[in-house]
Each structure stands twice: as structure tokens, then as C-alpha cells.
Structure 1
Amino acid sequence: MLTVFGDIRSGNCLKVKWMLDLLGKDYSWVETDIMSGGSRTADFLAMNPAGQVPTIVLDDGRTLAQSNAILLHFAEGTPYVPEDAYDRARMFEWLFWEQYSHEPYVAVARFQRLYLGKTASEVEPRLMERGRAALDRLEAALSEDEWLAGASPSVADLALVAYTRLAHEGGFDLSPLPNVRRWIARVETVFGIS
């Protein structure tokens, strides 16, 4: 059976869970608490030397890490990977941007505030500035289109909603971003996220 090693508090892990649930995949979830070193044990590092969750073990024993790679693996051949080459490239563009320009700021601010207990004044201002810039970038993109990569929802929407919908936990105010808020509601509806 497919096994997912993940920390349920992590947006990167949740987006994998949401995709598997949406597709009706049978899997076993192994809760891996990153705060207590669950991804740093010898057994875990033998499976994933990067020591990160999520990590999956396929039925045949092969492993795969990195949330967006896992999403793409399972979404292959579904409507969530655009058939049109340009729309598919835009989906990849958003996935790369999510891990480079969104998650390192929005998710890290959330982690520091929610899990490390830092106050707003203790979070590095540059982190907040770049997180706000990422959310503003989403707002601008969603003023032109309902979805990030083409005329229908894709893996890019699922990947980016994971931490965007929780941005307030990192101290980001979504109230001035109406396009983002409407998009979050659309993505949650389509992907069955509660």
C-alpha cells in the first residue's frame, strides 16, 4: 500500500493528502512530527536523505519526496495537469515560483509565529515584506484569471492554496486581497478542502 510520511501541520504535506483524497487513492499516513525530529531518524534519512516531509513510499518500494513532485506524479493523466503545452508550462512556472518565492516567506512566517511562538516584532521584516509581495503577486494574477494555469483548476492552484489559506497565521492580512480570497474559496470547493 502507498505510504505517506507527513506532518499534518505542514501545508506541503496537506496538499499531498488533499490530492490523494481527491483521487480516491488508498494510502497509509504515517504522522512524522518534524518538531521532535521525526524526519531526522536514521530510518527516515535512509528513505529520504534530505530529511523532509512529505515523503511517499510507492507500492513497489520506491520513494518520492518534494510535495510538488508528488502532486505531479499522482495528477498525471488527470484534468489537473493541463493538456495544452503553454498552460502546462504556466502550471510548472507557478509550482517553481511557489517553492522559491511564496513558501519560503509565507510558510516560514507562519512557522515562526505559530510553532516557534515569535511575536510579530520578532519576525524578520524582510520575511514579511517578501511574503506580502508574494501575496500581492497572486492578487494581481487572479485579477485576470480565475485559475493560475488556464481555464480550469490545476496542480498549481492546489499547491499554492496550502499556505495562502493559512497566511493569516503568519501575520499576513488577506482582507485587502479580494481576488485571492475568492480564489481560495474556489480551490477549497473544487478540491474538497475543509
Structure 2
Amino acid sequence: MLRHLGLPHRTVEVSIFEGAGRTPEFLALNPTGKVPVLQLDDGRALAESNAILAYLADGTAYLPNDPFARAKVHQWLSFEQENVEAVIGSLRHWTMTDKLARRAPDIVEAKRAGALRTLALLDRELSLRPFIAGQAYTIADIALFAYASRAEEAGIALSPFAEFRAWVARVEAQPGFLAEVHPYSIDPHSAGELP
């Protein structure tokens, strides 16, 4: 979103797997000790990816002014948190940090089944319109793209989901699209568990 809007910013890496998210200073920014956190110039902080997206997109084309259209974006942001980040995102993280073998097999299988249901639902919905909340690219697309587009890194094939793959291409074609991906290995402690 920062790139789409051309907003200057500075990125600060926080080694949450070493406990940096549990320091009093960081907990003052985000009481959950997680990343990301957006800290404004005046010192105020906002946590949770979708809250940050909504804040940055307010008053832009990425978050509609019409109450119903805006609510549809929020509907898909909620869906992303429950069905994409918590399912595909977790499975991807476990896979890429060698944690899969440490997870209960029934939980892993439930996540795989959930990922397939999520992708099938997105594929069906994206056969009806070019973007998830309607005709225009919004923060709902940005949020869903982050983990859903990387499902193959969680061992979930995208080949059965043609409409979804076409949507991925539409998102990647957006002006200002940020293709940069940081591997989990950027934090050598990411293979461990959070403190």
C-alpha cells in the first residue's frame, strides 16, 4: 500500500523469534508483540496488517467511499484473516521454516483441506468479477494476495484454480505492485517458536 501510494517510509526489522517483540518498548507499539506495526511521525502506532491497510487507504481509490462497497472490502479483509492468513499463511510458514513435522498431523491436514476450500471459493468468486470486492482493485485484493498467491510454497497446487491464477496476474499488473518477497530465512531464528 505504501508503494501504491508512493508514501515515503522506513522499514525497521524486529526479530520477534528472539523475543524483540516482547520488549516493553515494542509492546507499547503493539501489545500482541507481533509485526507489522505502522508508527506514525507523531509516535502513534497501529498494528494488524488489515487495520494498517485500511488506515493508509482511507480517502483513496483503494477503499471505496460508498458504505456498501466499503463494507464488501471489509468483508473480504475479515475472510482473509480467518481463511487465508490463519490457514494458508500458517501452513506456508510451517513448511518454509521446517516446523511442519512439529505440528500435529490432524491440524496440518485440516489446514490443507481449509486451504483447498479457500482457494476454491476464491476461484468461484473471481469468476464473477475482476477483483474480489468488485470491479476495482482494493486493499481486499492486496490483503488476499499476500498469502493466497503463495499457496504453492505451502504445498498447495494452484493449477486447478484458473480464475484465481488470472486474478493473481491482474494484481501483479497493477501500477506500483511490489514484487519483492522477504524469505523467512532473513531471520535465522524463524525456525524456532515464538517466545
Q: TM-score range by the shorter chain?
A: 0.7 to 0.9
Whether contact under 8 Å (2:3, 2:178) holds in the other structure is no
Task: Report deviation, 1:46.
Answer: 2.4
RCO comparison, higher one (Cα < 8 Å, 6+): 2
**Residue in 2 that maps onto 1:179:** 163
Are residues 1:80 and 2:65 paired? no
Task: Give the unaligned 5+ runs of structure 1.
Answer: 1-18
**Residue in 1 that maps onto 2:147:** 163
Whether contact under 8 Å (1:82, 1:150) holds in the other structure is no
TM-score by length of 1: 0.85
Whether contact under 8 Å (2:29, 2:46) holds in the other structure is no
Whichever residue aligns with residue 132 of structure 1, its letter is L
Q: Alignment partner of 1:56: what SS?
A: strand
Instruction: Give me the whole-angstrom Cα distance separating, in 2, the residues matched to 1:166 and 1:38.
Output: 27
Task: Report deviation, 1:42.
Answer: 2.6
Task: Report deviation, 1:100.
Answer: 1.3
Are residues 1:118 and 2:103 paired? no
Task: Report deviation, 1:127.
Answer: 1.1
* Equivalences, count: 176
Whether contact under 8 Å (1:94, 1:156) holds in the other structure is yes
Are residues 1:41 and 2:23 paired? yes
Task: Report deviation, 1:117.
Answer: 4.3
Instruction: Give me the whole-angstrom Cα distance separating, in 1, the residues matched to 2:98 and 2:21.
Output: 18
Structure richer in strand, relative to its length: 1
Q: 123, 133, 146: which is aligned to 2:130?
A: 146
